[in-house]
Amino acid sequence: MKVAFLSVFAFDANISLINALKDQCDVYFFTEALHQIYNYIDKDQLQKRITEGNHVEQIQRFGDLIDLSKTFVIKGTKNSDLFRKIYNSYKIDAELKRIKPDVIVIDNITLTYVWSAIRLRKKALLIVHDPFQHSGEEFIIEKYLRKLFFRLISHKILLNNSQKDRFIKECGQNERYIHSSFLSIYTYLTYYHKDRHSENSSEEFNILFFGRISPYKGIRFLLETFISMLSAENIQNMTLTIAGSGDFDFDVSEYKSHPNIKIINTFVSPEDLSRLIAQSSVVVCPYTDATQSGVVMSAFAFKKPVIATNVGGLPEMVEHGKTGIIIEKNNKKDLRDAILSLYTRPEKLDLMRANIEQEYFFGNKSWKHSAELFLEAIQSIHQEN
């Protein structure tokens, strides 16, 4: 069975998922080089509109995860250049006509694949990363694209199970066509680290927040809790790093001058991100709302426990007391207690690292099991056609 995987994200979860799927089906991978922050591919290095993966230097390191001869990198264009965007979509669909896939998997709601989404809508599976748009991020263009893709494509797959019933009810979906799977570890990041199996050996206890800066991420809450905890506990060897691009919705100047806080307010390359995670003791996701989180899976790729809030699908990803700690959102006492419980008990950190390895590298939360759920959805679409 031929499957075309159409994505704007070259790496993150997708190459691990494709690696797990390719044992069961013939997978062709399309990705768009557009904004460097998405997939770290510099589109200016591409000479052709669609380039075979064997000829894209920036993805050669992943040759043992994806078949580069069946990988295609699109030289993307912005949505504002509507005619070129639609023409790119037409050219991609022409390539798909040559491949003749039995099923297409669309990873994102985008104009890039709109031509194929229309023509192959009955053979399509749409991955819904965000069943509900995040607070403060209700963009008009995305709103209308969501409506279009949701109407075109019946079969959809969510990456957590906890929001499935609500999605069916509030978005008017047919339960028969709604599938679910889960994210596993973001293996690709370890390919940027010189020692893929290294662990932090620093005497400092390093807390890390990373990802796009946005109001719903709870960064101010994290900073305030950290400052008050240091003052009350008189801790000397604890640091906090905030790393990511975007605009803060509060004044961070007072925190930038604090000796135990490092704020990296810029795009973080995969090389730098892999180093930051490897050097951390624990990753914190203090979100006020969420679906699932690639941050958690990035941390788990380096066997780092995660402290996350009890929102969206995060409790499915972080097993309380086993692979991390779940706290209530905006609860400073919960966050303080969670950090201190790991800081004062290094053996607890070690046990959580071992649990992450067992569950996500080899166990029921590995890509092998995630791919099995994807394959069930893919096969159901193939049987209908």
Residue 137 has pLDDT above 60, yes or no: no
Is 198 in the same domain as 149? no
The yes-or-no verdict on residue 202 having pLDDT over 70 is no
In terms of Cα–Cα distance, which of 307, 312, 280 is closest to 296? 307
pLDDT (tens digit per residue) in 206-224: 999 999 898 889 999 999 9
For residues 172 and 232, membership in a common domain is answered with no
- Render pLDDT for 339-380 as a digit per residue (tens, 0 to 9): 999 999 999 999 999 999 999 999 999 999 999 999 999 999
pLDDT number for residue 16: 93
Tell me which residue range forms the domain holding 23: 2-184+366-384
Q: Hey, is 71 helix, strand or coil?
A: strand
Residue range 162-175, pLDDT digits in tens: 888 888 988 888 99
The pLDDT assigned to 71 comes to: 96
pLDDT at 280 > cutoff 60: yes
- Do 141 and 91 belong together in one domain? yes
Q: Please check the confidence at residue 20 and state whether its pLDDT lies above 60.
A: yes
* pLDDT reported for residue 338: 97
Q: Using pLDDT thresholds of 50, 70 and 90, give the confidence band for residue 51.
A: very high
* Residues 124, 170 within the same domain: yes
**Do 320 and 355 fall into the same domain?**
yes
Position 243 scores a pLDDT of 96
**Cβ pair 332, 228 in contact under 8 A:** yes
Q: Are residues 226 and 177 in the same domain?
A: no
Instruction: Tell me what pLDDT residue 233 has.
Output: 76
The structural domain count of the chain equals 2
Q: Residue 95: its pLDDT value, please?
A: 96
Strand 2-7 versus strand 50-52 pairing type: unpaired
The CATH number linked to 72 is 3.40.50.2000
* Overall average pLDDT of the 28-50 stretch: 80
Mean pLDDT of 301-310: 96
Q: d(Cα 32, Cα 162) in Å, to the nearest integer?
A: 30
Q: Which residue has the higher pLDDT, 303 or 146?
A: 303
Average pLDDT of the chain? 89
The CA-based dihedral angle spanning residues 353, 354, 358, 360, taken in that order and rounded to the nearest 10 degrees: 10
Band (138; pLDDT cuts 50, 70, 90): low
Instruction: Verify that 247 and 169 share a domain, yes or no.
Output: no
- Per-residue pLDDT band at 234 (split at 50, 70, 90): confident
What phi, psi does 108 have (nearest 5°)? Answer: -155, 155
Asked whether residue 271 carries a pLDDT value surpassing 70, the answer given is yes
**Looking at the structure, do residues 206 and 325 belong to the same domain, yes or no?**
yes
Q: Give every CB contact of residue 343 below 8 A, 6+ residues apart in sequence.
A: 205, 235, 238, 281
Same domain, 55 and 151: yes
- Residue 169 sits in the same domain as residue 257: no
**Alpha carbons 142 and 165: distance in angstroms, whole number:** 23
- Cα–Cα distance measured from residue 383 to residue 23, given in angstroms and rounded to the nearest whole number: 19
Residue 263 pLDDT class (50, 70, 90 cuts)? very high
Where are the strands (E) in 258-370, listed by range?
261-264, 282-285, 306-309, 324-327
- The verdict on 143 and 109 lying in the same domain is yes
Q: Find out whether 253 and 219 touch, Cβ atoms under 8 Å.
A: no
pLDDT at 97 over 90: yes
The per-residue pLDDT for range 59-76, each reduced to its tens digit, is 998 999 999 999 999 998
> Which one has a higher pLDDT value, 330 or 41?
330
| 155 plus 225 within the same structural domain | no
C-alpha to C-alpha distance for 294 and 98, rounded to whole angstroms: 33
User: Looking at residue 200, what is its pLDDT?
Assistant: 54
pLDDT of residue 194: 63
Q: How far apart are CA 45 and CA 66, in angstroms?
A: 21
Range 258-285 average pLDDT? 94
Region 73-95 average pLDDT: 89
